[in-house]
A and B are shown apart, each in its own frame.
Chain A
Amino acid sequence: MAQLSYREAVAYGIAQEMRRDPKLVMLGEDIAAAGGVFKTTVGLLDEFGPDRIKDTPISEQAIVGAAMGAAMTGIPVIAELMFSDFVAVTWDMIANEIAKTRYMTDGQVALPLVIRTANGGGVRFGAQHSQSVENWCMMIPGLKVVAPSTPTDVIGLMAASVRDPDPVVFFEHKALMAMSEEIPDGEIVDELGKAKILREGTDVTIAALAAMVPKALEAAERLAADGISAEVIDVRSLMPLDTRTILGSVSKTGRFYTVEENPRVLGWGAEVVSIVTDEAFWDLDGPCIRITTPHIPLPAAASLEDMAIPSVDRIYETVRRTAGGSA
């Protein structure tokens, strides 16, 4: 057992896969000598050398596009985009090329490719370096999308993503980098498309992703003190989406909440809520409620940013106010 931070877990997970598959390479800006601007790739250059851990010019289209080209020949590639905001800089590659290649070759061409990127706010980086763009990627047919909330999940889902024959966008959350936990010994391999119930409850179901997970857990703790028993689900993977776990929980509790950092309109929870109302309508005791960032860019000012992103208080208050009758 080792104690690892979320940021260390990224390098740990990549190293695990690089040792397993000598073909695997990674490219990105400032990932080699500098160890990544979020220090998520520290030590990889030393262990795997400059042919496998490659710094790049500041050319996001080329980073992702070259990764795609290499992946098409069967070389598995991890491409890093320093900030997830820059998926917009390379959107043609991601949305038009990578997502559609298998489809347009009638299923023939696999793209063993992982696009890793630092996502999310809470770190005072302002409107262009703080976005949560998991919903952008979720809405493009042909992409798989994961967003781990713990160091162990980072490692396990990294392995699952690298081993997947299709392109995966892997969101690492900036606000979670310092979080640390004990991780199990030996190889850690998880599965895409599996949500996790982190806390069992009977009155309400709260589904959260990435940095919203610890907040949902804390809110659940406070709700418990008020006699409201909340089940907290870490969604982990938006595509594929584990509807079974979510629907199972809702059929038990009858109340459904999402906690989303992405801006409100067409956030990932909108899709999940739509599935819940389609498939579990008769189990619901009230409306599904989405707790989200408003439909605004994130402000740079600390006080405003904290207000914009769902807080433990907002989750707690919203559930307490609306879960009426459940408790």
Chain B
Amino acid sequence: MTSRKAGLGRGLEALIPIHGETTSSRPPGQTSANGSSMFRLINPDGTVRDRLPVTLEEMKSLYADMVEARVYDDKSMAMQRQGRLATYAPFRGQEAAQIGAAAALRPGDWVSGTYRDAALNWKAGYPWKLLILGRTGDERGGQVPEGVNVMPPSITVGGHMIHAVGLAWAERLKGTDRIALTSFGDGATSEGDFHEAMNFAAVYETPTVFLCQNNGWAISYPVEEQTRSETIADKALAYGMPGVRVDGNDVIAVLVAVREAAERAREGEGPSLVEAVTYRLGPHTTADDPGRYRKDDEVAAWEELDPLVRVRRLLERSGAWTESWQQSLETEASNRIEEAVAWAESVPEPEPDDMFKRMFAEPTPNLVEQEREATGRG
């Protein structure tokens, strides 16, 4: 596709000479072998394709973040099985896409993501303890701390992409250089909301970054059924914005692509679409049995492309990874998560009047009456 050149992020080609190259190691499961390019900097074996625009220390820190996210994800799955959390949507396999994207943002930028974006939200400032509280089924987990511009996870597919247009537009009106990033899945691109958001953002030239985590599946529906576009990134073309496809299991490729899109937005050049090609290694949610619709060998092939393993190999090659460092990362992460869990589980049960109090700035007289009826109090 020659048209795809027009969809590249401004400056990205200059930054990464290999950008136009077709990746030979197309991740398995993406059956629409269309030959279109995918931007990658770190190969699955840990070798790099170009000089990385990060220091070794930054690389180690991103790795530590991914390890912490994985620990959180594993812990959440276990807690759900023990009945301590409501339904949970694991992000296992998508750590690089989420940590890389959040690392590209600046404090104050907006994030509007989904139920599967805990790692993204955490890296953007939403504390684990509130994410956990929310998953125990407590609306108080949806109260975002002061100064953290992360929307609570969107449960309904679609609408939050449009919010990111409004968030970004408002920052323009206020004269700030903040941007809004919205994260969504491959499946969400089939909602009218996606198309309206893309068009609106382009027409208003809002500083919005559209990040699609194409994880291959929307519950039981594979991405190649979801759309007949060769890639999700292709869709950007129709809306007159840049679209770029990156290896979503390569944390640095995601970081670079999202940073490029974010800086472009910040400079007043409007929205872009970044498609991060990744894979949902776990079930859709704890209520899902993927065995009903996908093959084990597909999952196994993607396990080989684990985004954490890739960076570990890279660090190993640079002599910066040791078993004991890994141990300490896991232990520290685990301690922090345990602390967050202990906090969330120590929060007293919500009071019956909470559900009435949070309705309006001031409760209406009818609600006061209904509260009495429902709670049998007063």
Contact = CB atoms under 8 A, between A and B. Distances in A.
Interface of A: 29-30, 32-35, 37, 55-62, 85-86, 89, 124-129, 264-265, 293-296, 299-304, 307-308, 314, 317
B374 A58 contact: no
A308 B374 contact: yes
A29 B191 contact: no
Interface centre among A56, A86, A264, A294 (most CB of B within 10 A): A294
A33 B220 contact: yes
Given A59-B192, A124-B86, 5 more contacts: A57-B225, A57-B226, A58-B187, A127-B139, A301-B350
Interface stretch (B36-44, B63-71, B363-371): B363-371
Given A57-B226, A58-B187, A34 B293 contact: yes
Interface centre among A34, A85, A307, A314 (most CB of B within 10 A): A34
A304 B219 contact: no
A58 B220 contact: no
Contact of A33 (B86, B292, B366, B370): B292
25 contacts: A29-B219, A30-B219, A33-B293, A34-B220, A55-B220, A57-B187, A57-B221, A57-B226, A58-B188, A58-B226, A89-B156, A125-B86, A126-B155, A127-B139, A129-B155, A293-B374, A294-B367, A296-B355, A296-B359, A301-B138, A301-B349, A301-B350, A304-B350, A304-B352, A304-B355
Contacts of B191: 58-60, 89
B352 A307 contact: yes
Contact of A57 (B156, B227, B287, B293): B227
B155 A296 contact: no
Interface class of chain A by DSSP:
loop
Nearest to B155: A128
A286 to B, nearest CB: 17
- Interface size class for chain B? 35 or more
Nearest to A42: B292
Interface of B: 86-87, 137-139, 155-158, 187-188, 190-192, 218-221, 225-227, 287-288, 292-293, 349-350, 352, 354-356, 359, 366-367, 370-371, 373-376
A294 B356 contact: yes
A300 B350 CA distance: 10
A57 B190 contact: yes
Nearest to A85: B156
A56 B187 CA distance: 10
A302 B156 CA distance: 20
* Across the A-B interface, the 8 shortest Cβ-Cβ residue pairs: A57-B190, A34-B220, A294-B370, A300-B137, A33-B293, A58-B187, A59-B190, A58-B190
Contacts of A57: 187, 190, 218, 221, 225-227
B219 A37 contact: yes
A295 B292 contact: no
Contacts of B350: 299, 301, 303-304
Contacts of B375: 307
Nearest to B138: A301
Given A34-B293, A307-B375, A300 B225 contact: no
Contact of B86 (A89, A300, A307, A314): A300
A307 B190 contact: no
Interface centre among B137, B190, B227 (most CB of A within 10 A): B137
A204 B204 CA distance: 61
B220 A264 contact: no
